[in-house]
Chains A and B, each alone.
Chain A
Amino acid sequence: MLPNPILLELFKHRFASIAEEMGVTLTRTSFSPNIKERRDCSCAVFDQQGDMIAQAAHIPVHLGSMPLSVKSAIESTVFSEGDMVILNDPYKGGTHLPDITLVAPVFVRDDSPSFYIANRAHHADVGGISSGSMPLSSSIYQEGLIIPPLKLVDRGNIDRKVMDFFLSNVRTPTEREGDFAAQIMANTTGVRRMKQLIDKFGFETVFFYSRSLMDYAERIMRKTIKSIPDGLYRFEDVMDDDGFSSEHIPLSLMLEINNENAVLDFSQSAPQVSGCINAVYAITLSAVLYTSRCLVTEDIPANAGCLRPISITTEKGSIVDARFPAAVAGGNVETSQRIVDLVLGALSQALPGSIPAASQGTMNNVAIGGLDHRTGKPFAYYETIAGGMGATAGHHGESAVHSHMTNTLNTPVEALEYTCPFLVKEYSVRRGSGGRGRSNGGDGVVREIQLLSDAEVTVLSERRTHAPYGLFGGSHGQPGKNSVIKNGVTKHKPGKFNMTLYKGDHLRIETPGGGGFGEKD
């Protein structure tokens, strides 16, 4: 049977609308700003094998990794109606520990589920050695609580033992419980909508079009790959360091385009490192999917079909496919960006006109925690800072914006100074930091905060020693710069550091500019 082109389009809308409605429920009912306002979450619909049918993604880094989590939940669970399984283990399809996935089955007529519904949200704390669970760690055990697939909801009832065990291990249990309630509600919405869809159109039709939509995405992805000239394209880039040694860490990609297929071989990349920037395989997969999705001009669903023409090779135990118990907190936020730089760098040789130079290539993670002198109570703050985007053949790169694998919002100065003992001294565009060229790279950002109470500061950033690359004669973007100002004296700090700052000290972060494109005539 061939899919009807009209029903194909209608089902595309119908599945997408289920994922979107889950997303609205999740962001609307969640408690923490991280999910509600920064929208660090994703929702998706899966078939009985755990292949993704549709996803409402706010954060690209969740793209490829959700299906792996769902598959490992399916493998280890005998589901009953009303169950929901929780997990965050990066070595079972997760990304890093704060990203917690919740999986629910949709039963239609058989003893086993016909579809699955899942959502993932970044929780502001999951225990571990530092507040916010994004430490400069050397083992995953320091990063927080590892949750293997477990039933959080058993036949419609929350398992208090599982919940209480989790809540006892985190710093902000009330907020966590509120966010779990939202995740449960989002899945409940998804299951209900999926059942309505099946009631209305019948299981056979819904199932048929879930497969047809994967074939559809595959067709478009194959056409997209076919439009790239065949060949072998090699690209290399580095991570500055792992926060423990100052050695740079090389990453390497051999991209082979063969008619409608793409093979990405990352196996020449460095072995995993002591610091926290190891990426598990799911992250590499997400970065590849994100980049492929950027090449597609049609509005296609992000589903399992997109990946069929793409194969990825990695070396187990490497920086792009870490082995337990490597530390991974920063792989999700930093290394994911470099993998995108690698894929785009290789593609730029195949498609010289349409691929941009490197964007800032970091998320500039800043965590500050301490005791607020105004209230006597502890405070914790986490932010990521935008930077420059890489230039393209036709356009200057955009300035002061999040690029590639993240898209989270900033906190307004007028909200920040109210909730934390900070005085923001500067928040501006870092003029001239973009690489020069026929088109210029976008400029980075300057963010300077004066502390009004003593506090512990952790900075996890990249592209401080190795600049975002320019292309075809365009110059590199300026690397980022981290400094601490005490009594008017500025001291430079490395890309990754942890220290106590005292009342009156300033933390100044200057984020990288994007690379330039083409020689300036």
Chain B
Amino acid sequence: MQSSHIIIGVDTGGTFTDFVFKDNNGWGVHKVLSTPHNPSKAVIKGLRMLAAGTPKQVVHGSTVATNAILERKGVKTALIANKGFEDVIEIGRQNRSRLYDLAYKKTPCIVPYSLRFGITGRILYSGMVLEELDPAELQRVVNSVHETGAESVAVCLLFSYTNPCHEKHLGELLSKLNMSVSLSHEILAEFREFERTSTTVINAYVSPIMKKYLDGMQTEFSPQDILRIMQSNGGSISASTAMNESARTILSGPAGGVIGAYEIGKIAGFTNLITLDMGGTSTDVSLILQKPSLTLESTISEYPLKLPMIDIHTVGAGGGSIARIDTGGSLQVGPKSAGADPGPICYGKGNQITVTDAHLYLGRLIAEHFLGGAMSLQYTRLDSFFELMSKKLGLTSVELAEGILDVANTCMERAIRVISVERGHDPRDFSLFAFGGAGGMHAAFLAHLLNIPRVIIPQNPGILSAIGMLLADIIKDYSRTVMLDALQTESSDLDKYVKELENKAISELASEGINHDKITFEHGLDMRYKGQSFEILVPYRYDFIESFHALHEQTYGHRNNSMPVEIVGTRLRAIGTVEKPAVKRQKAGGRHAPDEAVLGEKDTFFEGKNRRTKIIKRDHLLSGNQLTGPAVIVEYSGTIVMPPFASAVVDEFGNIVMEIT
């Protein structure tokens, strides 16, 4: 490493744009107020501050593509499909996402009917061309697409994953126009036309926006600087790839947090984690069993996005979630949130009780240390609101406050059960890794509910996503639907497809600056029993059929050796390992926390009882310090609540490791 070299992780997800960096002087954290209308302003401001004139390597988690979808601010996008199938994108899977909604509406299609074009030409499931393209018609369609003024076009033809010749031909014609082109066999070479079309259309819709955004930042990067973009699969890619395959960056912010948890957990010796990222309006949970779990079932704004992503489950409970009494007299918390404006009652403007207000009411939030004292909380505003609601419910105010937290915890408990118990994992075999502003206030209680023995809260829990980006490898995922009868398939048949994907990966990673010898390949096969409509991912080894039966039994509880097995597709994950900076170690101390760490004591309620509770400043804790509950640990970006049933130790990396009894 050069003497004056800096590596930086940048996350633009929140109110602040977070920078985590490492240079020769060690680790540092920097925050710049975000500029939501043009996020690059804050990024550029921070980069100039941290790395003016210094060679830099930046990994950037950008919400540009995500927001373009959520706010429907992508570019005007056209779609070319087979004639008679232009509406596949509109029909979807023909189901509705809300069963009891008499006025049910789908999210409107990204490509309206007037921008969809059909062409003749048909390929069969075998890859055989049944009907050729009509050159005259093709030219007419291409001209019509051009005339609409669309900036981007998606092409998705039936069975293009087995034979892309028609899509390629269209791609050539369209590339002569000045527009962004997304071909479905390049974005996702897999069967199921609706999901493939949806993914391709999303890519077409956001890529030009991402390109403009990254082009706007080019001035900040000299030729020897490196800019990489975080993807939702937990790895990064080069800025130039991200411009063409922007769909891969959607939902990458939460993925950064999971990678941060994974890398820091690994260093601290914990490889099986349940991550808990609690923010203002929602909470994200995910499961790490040796490595982060991936899913192919993601959606954004109800549009399927069938690229491999870190499997994150979100529930509408956060610090700002509002408590209310429903018409049947039951206490509800969320999913409505007070947001940043008006915010919780204690922020001064709100007039509906939130989870944050309940914490403050019980004494678990310390008003004078909230955000390092930068924002004062108004405890006295709470009384009248709590009195009013608790009277309606026939409870004491303390019972109400604890009840609000119990209901919020139960929502989060259900979310954790979804990713653990419902997928065959026992929470007792995991540690709960909590981050985000409010994660540390709920983690111990959740662990208690789910019999999770341990809670880990990293240093700087509010900026873990940026740390994860900085530590992420370069990862590219490839897939191809093949539809083979497993019993009649030799490894040599499969190797043809495997080699094809590997060669593609090697050449693409070379352009990312990764040498062949730095690449690790993970090969997989999507397999199922013939007749099933669901595949499972089996590692590709010589005994893949037996592996399939065994994995099927492990996942679904049964196997059937006499039933024919199908290989639906092949998958490749190519990982280019990047050099990871060493994590900062915490100075060692004794069993007892230093005196200056203990700020005082105050009255706090746990299970209806008033307990004298220590207030501890995290910045002063040293490695080896032991703590017993009840205690409240404060730091700039968050608060940790240790109930009476928890004890904790500070490990050598500064993580607080809580044992739950």
Q: Taking beta carbons and an 8 Å cutoff, which residues of A are in contact with B?
A: 2, 4-6, 8-10, 12-14, 17, 20-21, 24-25, 28-29, 31-33, 36-37, 57, 60, 174-175, 178, 181-182, 185, 216-217, 219-220, 223, 290, 293-294, 296, 298, 300, 344, 354-356, 385-386, 389, 392, 394-395, 398-403, 407-415, 417-419, 423, 425-429, 445, 448
Contacts and interface: CB of A to CB of B under 8 A. Distances in A.
B328 A401 contact: no
Interface string B129-165: 0100000000000000000000000000011000000
A13 B410 contact: yes
5 contacts: A24-B422, A217-B328, A300-B328, A355-B102, A412-B192
Contacts of B560: 174, 178
B327 A5 contact: no
B94 interface: yes
Interface stretch (B29-37, B40-48, B81-89, B609-617): B81-89
A17 B100 contact: no
A13 B130 CA distance: 54
A510 B201 CA distance: 27
A40 B10 CA distance: 46
Contacts of B410: 9-10, 13-14
Contacts of B329: 5, 8, 216, 219
B551 interface: no
A29 B326 contact: no
Contact of B101 (A32, A294, A355, A415): A294
Interface in B464-512: 483
Interface of B is mostly: loop
Interface of B: 84-88, 90-91, 93-96, 99-106, 113, 124-125, 130, 158-159, 191-195, 325-332, 393-395, 399-400, 403, 406-407, 410-411, 413-414, 417-418, 421-422, 483, 529, 531-534, 555-558, 560, 563
Contact of B414 (A2, A17, A33): A17
Given A33-B533, A401-B96, A17 B563 contact: no
B557 A386 contact: no
Given A220-B327, A300-B328, 16 more contacts: A8-B330, A9-B332, A33-B531, A36-B533, A60-B100, A220-B326, A223-B327, A389-B104, A400-B87, A400-B94, A408-B94, A409-B93, A412-B195, A414-B193, A428-B85, A429-B87
User: Closest 9 CB pairs between A and B?
Assistant: A6-B403, A426-B84, A386-B94, A33-B533, A220-B328, A414-B191, A37-B533, A216-B328, A428-B87
A12 B411 CA distance: 11
B147 to A, nearest CB: 22
With most chain B CB atoms within 10 A of its CB, the pick from A4, A413, A415, A448 is A413
Given A12-B330, A407-B96, A398 B534 contact: no
Contacts of B399: 6
A292 B393 CA distance: 27
A427 B529 contact: no
A426 B113 CA distance: 16
A412 B407 contact: no
Contacts of A217: 328
Contact of B103 (A9, A24, A394, A418): A394
A2 B418 CA distance: 32
Nearest to B194: A412
A319 to B, nearest CB: 24
Given A9-B407, A401-B94, A414 B158 contact: yes
Given A217-B328, A402-B94, A395 B193 contact: no
B90 A414 contact: no
Contacts of A403: 96
Contacts, number: 188
Nearest to A384: B94
A427 B84 contact: yes
With most chain B CB atoms within 10 A of its CB, the pick from A5, A20, A419 is A5
B191 A415 contact: yes
Contacts of A216: 328-330
A417 B558 CA distance: 28
B124 A417 contact: yes
Given A298-B327, A402-B94, A426-B84, A407 B99 contact: yes
B102 A294 contact: yes
B331 A5 contact: yes
Contact of A417 (B93, B125, B331): B125
Contacts of A9: 330-332, 407, 410
A400 to B, nearest CB: 4
A419 B406 CA distance: 50
A409 B96 CA distance: 9
A436 to B, nearest CB: 18
A401 B95 contact: yes
Nearest to A409: B93
B185 to A, nearest CB: 12
B125 A298 contact: no
Contacts of B91: 386, 400, 410, 427-429, 445
A401 B102 CA distance: 12
A428 B414 contact: no
Nearest to A172: B531
B404 to A, nearest CB: 8
B88 A29 contact: no
B564 to A, nearest CB: 11
Nearest to B101: A294
A400 B95 CA distance: 9
A415 B327 contact: no
Contacts of A409: 93-95
Nearest to B160: A414
Nearest to A58: B99
A389 B102 CA distance: 9
A6 B395 CA distance: 10
A8 B104 CA distance: 29
Contacts of B556: 28-29
B455 to A, nearest CB: 21
A350 B85 CA distance: 41
Contacts of A14: 410
Contacts of A294: 100-102
A462 B406 CA distance: 49
Contacts of B99: 57, 60, 407
A414 B404 CA distance: 49
Nearest to B552: A29
Contacts of B192: 412, 414-415
A182 B532 CA distance: 14
B42 to A, nearest CB: 39
A13 B124 CA distance: 48
Given A17-B414, A216-B328, A401-B94, A36 B104 contact: no
A425 B102 CA distance: 32
Contacts of B325: 5
A417 B192 CA distance: 11
B93 A400 contact: no
Contacts of A413: 85, 88, 158, 193
A415 B557 CA distance: 25
B403 to A, nearest CB: 3
Contacts of A414: 125, 158-159, 191-193
With most chain B CB atoms within 10 A of its CB, the pick from A25, A57, A427 is A427
Contacts of B393: 5-6
Contacts of B328: 216-217, 219-220, 223, 298, 300
A275 to B, nearest CB: 26
A53 B533 CA distance: 32
Contacts of A290: 100
A495 to B, nearest CB: 20
A28 B95 contact: no
Given A13-B410, A37-B534, A60-B99, A399 B104 contact: no
B94 A385 contact: yes
Given A57-B99, A418-B125, A28 B555 contact: yes
With most chain A CB atoms within 10 A of its CB, the pick from B95, B193, B331, B532 is B95
B400 to A, nearest CB: 8
B191 A175 contact: no
